[in-house]
Structure 1
Amino acid sequence: MKIKVNPEDFQVEEILARPLVQTPAAHRVYRLRKRNWNTLDALAEIARSRDVELRDLHWCGRKDRSALTEQYFSTLSQVDMTFRSMNLSAEFAGFSDSRLGPGSISGNRFRIVLRDLDAQESEGIDKRLEETKLFGFANYFDDQRFGDVSDGGVLAGEMIVKRRYGEALKCIFTTFHPKAPERVKARKAEIASKWGNWKVLSPLCPEPRLRGMLEVLTRGGSELQALGKLPREEMSQYLSSYQSFLWNLLLEGILKETVGNLFTIRCRPVDLLQYRDLTREAFRRLAELVIPTPAAGMPEIPGGFGKVLSRVLYSRGVRLSKLRLPEIHQAFLSSFGRRAISVPEEFKWEEAPDRLFPGRRIISLEFILPAGSYATMLIKSVNRG
C-alpha cells in the first residue's frame, strides 16, 4: 500500500467550530490553501510578503507538507493578507471577534487515496475499514507530533524534564528525521562526533536557533542558559512532544488492561499497540474515556487508571512533579483532556482501478475526525495485515 504518492492523494480541510461573519469585526480570517508547503513556512512566506511579523498571525494547527490542505488563519482587521503564488494562496473568508487558535476548529475533513493495492490487500482493508467505522481507533498522537527524533531515539523534552540539560542540547543539535537527506545525516553525525568542542562546531551549525545556543556555550555559559536561547515555539514543541509521548504510553497501558486482540503499529519514537475490534462494553467504556495529558497538578485519571500512569512514569524514570519547570522561561506544560479513541464521522470509501499503477487497485476514503485526531493513525489501524 502507498499513500501520498502525490499531494492530491492526501487532502485536508479544516472545519471551523463557529461560522465566520461578513460584517467587520476585530479580526480578519483568511483561507489558506497550500500544496507541498508546511504550515509554518507557508505563513512565514505570506507574512514576509506583507511586511508582517509571523507572531501576528494566528492559526488552528499545522498541516502536512506532502498534501493538499485548506486551513484558516487570522490577523487584526486593518491588515490585508491576501496572497497568491504557485501552490500557495490566502483569500479573505470573513471576520471573527476573536483570533483563531487550536480550539477554533471542530475537526478536519480528509480525502485520502490508498494506492498500489492487490486484490487481497484491497479485500482485507475493506473489511478493516468496516471495523474502524464501527469501533474507531486508539487516538494516539502520531509521528508528526514528535518532529526530528530518530526511531527509538532520545527525546529532548525528556532530558529537559530530567534536568539533564547537556543531553537535551546534544539531542537538539544532532537528531534528525529518519527520511532526512544523507548530507543532513552526515552533518549531524559530525556534530555528534565533535560534541563539546564548541568553536569547531560553529561552521556545522548554520541554523540561527543553533548558533544562538552555541554562542552561549562558546562564551562559557551554562547548558541551561544555552537552552534559554531556544525560541519559545521550539521549546514548547519539545516539551509537548514529550507530554504526548507519555500520554501515548498511558493509553497503551490502559488498552492492555481493557482490550484483547491487540496488534503492533509502527510509530515514532516507539511502536504502539492498536486494537482490532471491541466488545460493546469495552467500546462504551473507551468512547466515554477522556484521559488528561500528564502535567504537574493534572486531574485524576478516570476509570481507576491512575496506577497505569504511575507505571509509565516509573518506566521513564520521572516523577509527575518534575513536569513543573520553573527554570524554563519559554514554555510550560499544562494538562488537557484527550479522548481515548476516535470514531470517524461521515465515513465512506470506494474501490477503483489504479491509473498510476496498472493492474493494481485504489481505495478512496472520505471522513471527518475531531480536532487533534490523526488520519495517519486511522490508516495505520486499517493497514495491519
Structure 2
Amino acid sequence: MISGDLSIILVIKERCPCRRPELKIKVNPEDFQVEEILARPLVQTPAAHRVYRLRKRNWNTVDALSEIARSRGVELRDLHWCGRKDRSALTVQYFSTSSPVDMTFRSTNLSAEFAGFSDSRLGPGSISGNRFRIVLRDLDAQESEVIDKRLEEVKLFGFANYFDDQRFGDVSGGGVFPGEMIVKRRYGEALKCIFTAFHPGAPERVKARKAEIASKWGNWKDLSPLCTEPRLRGMLEVLTRGESELEALGKLPREEMSQYLSSYQSFLWNLLLEGILKETVGNLLTIRCRPVDLLQYRDLPREVFRRLAELVIPTPAAGMPEVPGGFGKVLSRVLYSRGVRLSKLRLPEIHQAFLSSFGRRAISVPEELKWGEDNDRLFPGRRIISLEFILQAGSYATMLIKSVSRG
C-alpha cells in the first residue's frame, strides 16, 4: 500500500534490461497535495446539510473526522464524506452533517471550517475530481529527461486507469485476497488471511505475532492471547464456541467486509483492463504494482485513443452489464484464470455487504497538466519535477506517476 510517514520510493520496471530509475514522493506532506473538487457548488442559504472544508496534514480521513466528531460530542456516523485521503499528504476535502452542532475545529495539522450548505449529504459521487500538486524528488538528469518525455505523452494520451496499490491494502504477502476466498466460499482461508494480515511497514513484534497466529491456526484457545484487536477477538469467540467459519465472518464490521469484496472486484477489473490493452495496444511497458505488475501504454494511434477514451468498463459482479467493445471474452479469460464464475460474485450468505457493478473509464486523461524542473534542496546535486493536474474522481495520481517514471 502506498503510504508511510517518510519518503516513498517508486521503482518502475521495464522489460528491457536497462537501468531502472528510482524517485521519491511524499518525502514530506507538502510534496503530495490533494484538493477535492465538488461536482455541484454549495449554497449559502440554509439547507438540510451543513458542509465543512477539512484541511489535514499527517492525518488519515477517518481518524481526523473521528477527532472532530469526538470534540463536538457527535457520532462519526453523523458525518458524511466523499472519499478517504492519504495520511502522508496535505489534503483539502469536504464533509457534511445534518447536525446543528457547529463542527468548526482547529488544532495542529487539522482544521475544519464552514463552507456552505447542501440539499443532500455528501458521498463518493459528490466530487467531480481532485486537484494534485506533487513533487518528484531525487532525480538525475537522465531520469528527469525520461519523465519530461513521458509527461508530454500522458498529456496527450492519458494513462490506463487502473486501481492502484492503495486499493489493495488487505492483500497478504502471498497475494491472497480475503475477498477472493469469500467468493470461492473458502471461509477458513479468508479468516486466516484476515487474522494474519499486517501492513508491510509494521513493527517486527507485530509480524512475529501474526506469524505465531498462522502457526497455531485452528487451535482457537491458543490464539486468544495473540488476538489483541477487538474485531479479531469477536470472530475468535465465535470459532471457540464451535460455530462455523461463515458465522465468524458475520462478525466483521460492514465497512471492512465491503473493503475486502471491493478490493477483489478492483483486482479483477485491473486484469480485465490489462487484457483489453493487450488486444488493442502495442508498445506496452510493465509497471510495478501490488499485488501483480501491470501493463501500461505509452502513446496511442488516434483511432485507438478515441476508442479507449470512450470505453467505460463495468466492474465484475453478478448481473453486470455486458463488457462493451466485444471484450466480453477477455472477462471470461480473467475469471477462468482466477477459478471464479460470475455467478459466484453473488453472495446472499454475506449480510454485511454485496458486490454491485459500476462503470469505470478505461483511461484517464489529466486536465490542466503542467510541470517544471528545479534543483532538489533536500537531495543536493539532484533534481525535482513539480507537477500540477486534475484527475477525474476515482483515478489515482500514483498511477500517473508510475506511468511517467519510465519511458
Structures share a fold, TM > 0.5?
A: yes
**Aligned-pair distance for 1:177?**
2.4
The corresponding residue for 2:386 is 364
Q: Deviations over 1:213-237 (max 9, x none)?
A: 1111111111000000000000000
Q: Are the aligned partners of 2:170 and 2:178 in contact in 1 as well (CA < 8 Å)?
A: no
**Aligned-pair distance for 1:355?**
0.6
- Structure 1 residues 276 and 151 mapped into 2: Cα distance closer, same or farther (>3 Å)? farther
**Aligned-pair distance for 1:77?**
4.1
* CA RMSD between the two structures: 1.0
**Aligned-pair distance for 1:41?**
1.2
Q: Deviations over 1:228-264 (max 9, x none)?
A: 0000000000000000000000000000000011111
TM-score calculated relative to the size of structure 2: 0.93
Q: Are the aligned partners of 1:142 and 1:268 in contact in 2 as well (CA < 8 Å)?
A: yes
* Identity of matched residues, %: 92
84, 102, 107: which one pairs with 2:129? 107
Distance in 1 between residues matched to 2:71 and 2:163, nearest whole Å:
34
**Aligned-pair distance for 1:82?**
1.4
Residue 46 (1) aligns with residue 60 (2) = no
Higher mean alpha-carbon deviation, 190-199 vs 316-325, is at 190-199
Unaligned stretches of 5+ residues in structure 1:
none
Q: Deviations over 1:288-319 (max 9, x none)?
A: 00000000000011100000000000000011
**Aligned-pair distance for 1:180?**
2.4
Q: Deviations over 1:185-219 (max 9, x none)?
A: 11111111111111221221111111111111111
Higher mean alpha-carbon deviation, 32-41 vs 330-339, is at 32-41
Distance in 2 between residues matched to 1:165 and 1:219, nearest whole Å:
17
Distance in 2 between residues matched to 1:151 and 1:138, nearest whole Å:
25
Q: Are the aligned partners of 2:146 and 2:406 in contact in 1 as well (CA < 8 Å)?
A: no
> How many correspondences in the alignment?
385
Distance in 2 between residues matched to 1:260 and 1:179, nearest whole Å:
37
Q: Deviations over 1:9-41 (max 9, x none)?
A: 000000000011111111111111111111111
**Aligned-pair distance for 1:178?**
2.2
**Partner SS, residue 2 of structure 1:** strand
**Partner SS, residue 349 of structure 2:** coil
Higher mean alpha-carbon deviation, 26-35 vs 43-52, is at 43-52
The corresponding residue for 1:222 is 244
Q: Are the aligned partners of 1:151 and 1:270 in contact in 2 as well (CA < 8 Å)?
A: no
Distance in 2 between residues matched to 1:118 and 1:161, nearest whole Å:
46
Distance in 1 between residues matched to 2:312 and 2:167, nearest whole Å:
19
Distance in 1 between residues matched to 2:305 and 2:183, nearest whole Å:
35
Distance in 2 between residues matched to 1:220 and 1:152, nearest whole Å:
28
Distance in 2 between residues matched to 1:317 and 1:173, nearest whole Å:
24
**Partner SS, residue 136 of structure 2:** strand
Distance in 1 between residues matched to 2:50 and 2:133, nearest whole Å:
28
Q: Are the aligned partners of 2:170 and 2:260 in contact in 1 as well (CA < 8 Å)?
A: no
Distance in 2 between residues matched to 1:74 and 1:194, nearest whole Å:
45
Unaligned stretches of 5+ residues in structure 2:
1-22
Residue 80 (1) aligns with residue 102 (2) = yes
Q: Are the aligned partners of 1:32 and 1:71 in contact in 2 as well (CA < 8 Å)?
A: yes
**Aligned-pair distance for 1:79?**
2.4
Distance in 2 between residues matched to 1:291 and 1:351, nearest whole Å:
36
Higher mean alpha-carbon deviation, 103-112 vs 262-271, is at 262-271
Q: Are the aligned partners of 2:170 and 2:177 in contact in 1 as well (CA < 8 Å)?
A: no
Distance in 2 between residues matched to 1:120 and 1:14, nearest whole Å:
33
**Aligned-pair distance for 1:182?**
2.0
Distance in 2 between residues matched to 1:207 and 1:193, nearest whole Å:
18
Q: Are the aligned partners of 1:25 and 1:77 in contact in 2 as well (CA < 8 Å)?
A: no
**Aligned-pair distance for 1:343?**
0.2
Q: Are the aligned partners of 2:231 and 2:251 in contact in 1 as well (CA < 8 Å)?
A: yes
Higher mean alpha-carbon deviation, 60-69 vs 183-192, is at 183-192
Distance in 2 between residues matched to 1:174 and 1:151, nearest whole Å:
10
Distance in 2 between residues matched to 1:292 and 1:276, nearest whole Å:
24
**Aligned-pair distance for 1:162?**
0.5
Distance in 2 between residues matched to 1:8 and 1:68, nearest whole Å:
6
Q: Deviations over 1:35-91 (max 9, x none)?
A: 111111111111221222211111101111110001011111412211111111111
**Aligned-pair distance for 1:131?**
0.5
Distance in 1 between residues matched to 2:198 and 2:114, nearest whole Å:
37
Higher mean alpha-carbon deviation, 48-57 vs 131-140, is at 48-57
TM-score calculated relative to the size of structure 1: 0.98
Q: Are the aligned partners of 1:149 and 1:177 in contact in 2 as well (CA < 8 Å)?
A: no
**Aligned-pair distance for 1:151?**
4.6
Higher mean alpha-carbon deviation, 36-45 vs 314-323, is at 36-45
Distance in 1 between residues matched to 2:208 and 2:174, nearest whole Å:
19
Q: Are the aligned partners of 1:34 and 1:42 in contact in 2 as well (CA < 8 Å)?
A: yes
**Partner SS, residue 189 of structure 2:** helix
Distance in 2 between residues matched to 1:275 and 1:87, nearest whole Å:
39
Q: Are the aligned partners of 1:152 and 1:270 in contact in 2 as well (CA < 8 Å)?
A: no
Q: Are the aligned partners of 1:353 and 1:362 in contact in 2 as well (CA < 8 Å)?
A: yes
Distance in 2 between residues matched to 1:35 and 1:205, nearest whole Å:
31
**Aligned-pair distance for 1:152?**
4.6
Q: Detail structure 1 runs of 4+ shifted over 3 Å in the superposition.
A: none
**Partner SS, residue 188 of structure 1:** helix
Residue 183 (1) aligns with residue 205 (2) = yes
Q: Are the aligned partners of 2:172 and 2:193 in contact in 1 as well (CA < 8 Å)?
A: no
